[in-house]
């Protein structure tokens, strides 16, 4: 997700409903991973409020006050891993210290849905554009690499996201990749893009590729959810 879901104050629930529909059982086990926000309790509370018992079997994986001993067993028992937004670089560093990079790769192979927004979009790709390193957007090139190429969330939500991403791809500092507006999500299966979906009529997604010394945006078909 480029942005949206329960994190947005004006969320209509469509993206999160679609995420649940991808799970392998009707009442999905959904694990929220708020590492990128430093396990912010207010963020956790918003997640739990959005995923009551009537909607899903929801739990939270905190790493700054870690309560789970066997991370591998806990993660592999889930249907959906939902990664929150925040600092992508810090998220990756903390995950690697705890061995979650390898565990999430195993979860991916096992068919568990791996999802997220903002930093939770960036992390699955090889590279991304991020504000992890300070007030200006920078390239990040050591993502988990479960998806090939690069990612840019908030493509319409932050003024500098689009021009920065285009410049980084054009210069070769980031590989070709995908950009998503807020309220738009990209669905991949076995590394291949299946479709783009949105909870807002004008939310868009793009394939961004380097051609010579410039970056080219190719709009992707977007299916409006709820229609």
Average pLDDT, integer, range 146-157: 96
Confidence of residue 9 (pLDDT cuts 50, 70, 90): low
Task: Show contacts of 184-189: CB within 8 Å, 24+ apart.
Answer: 184/1, 184/2, 184/4, 184/222, 185/1, 185/2, 185/4, 185/15, 185/18, 185/19, 185/115, 186/121, 186/220, 187/22, 188/147
| pTM of the full structure | 0.95
Residues 6+ apart with CB under 8 A from 227: none
CATH 3.30.2130.10 fits 5-224, yes or no: no
Q: Which of 11-25, 83-97, 203-217 has the lowest mean pLDDT?
A: 11-25
3-state SS class at 213: coil
Q: What is the mean pLDDT of residues 135-150?
A: 97
Average pLDDT (84-107) is 97
Catalytic residue among 118, 128, 150, 199: 118
| pLDDT at position 226 over 90 | no
Which residue out of 132, 154, 181, 199 is catalytically annotated? 154
- Compute the mean pLDDT over every residue in the chain, rounded to the nearest whole number: 96
Residue 118 catalytic?
Answer: yes
Catalytic residue list contains 150: no
pLDDT at 10: 66
User: What's the pLDDT at 227?
Assistant: 77
Domain boundaries, the chain: 5-224
């Amino acid at each position: 997700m480029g942005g949206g879901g329960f994190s947005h104050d004006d969320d209509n629930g469509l993206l999160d409903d679609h995420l649940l529909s991808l799970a392998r059982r009707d009442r999905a086990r959904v694990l929220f991973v708020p590492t990128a926000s430093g396990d912010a309790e207010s963020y956790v509370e918003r997640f739990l409020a959005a995923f009551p018992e009537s909607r899903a079997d929801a739990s939270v994986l905190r790493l700054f006050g870690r309560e789970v001993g066997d991370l591998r067993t806990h993660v592999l028992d889930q249907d959906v891993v939902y990664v929150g937004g925040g600092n992508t670089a810090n998220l990756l560093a903390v995950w690697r210290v705890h061995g979650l990079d390898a565990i999430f790769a195993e979860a991916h192979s096992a068919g568990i849905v791996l999802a997220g927004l903002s930093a939770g979009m960036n992390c699955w790709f090889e590279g991304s554009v991020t504000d992890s390193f300070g007030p200006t957007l920078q390239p990040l090139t050591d993502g988990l690499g479960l998806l090939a190429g690069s990612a840019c969330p908030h493509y319409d939500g932050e003024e500098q996201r689009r021009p920065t991403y285009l410049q980084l791809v054009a210069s070769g500092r980031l590989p070709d990749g995908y950009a998503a507006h807020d309220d738009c999500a990209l669905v991949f299966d076995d590394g291949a893009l299946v479709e783009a979906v949105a909870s807002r009529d004008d939310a868009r997604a793009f394939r961004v590729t380097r051609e010579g010394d410039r970056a080219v945006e190719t709009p992707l078909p977007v299916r409006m959810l709820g229609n």
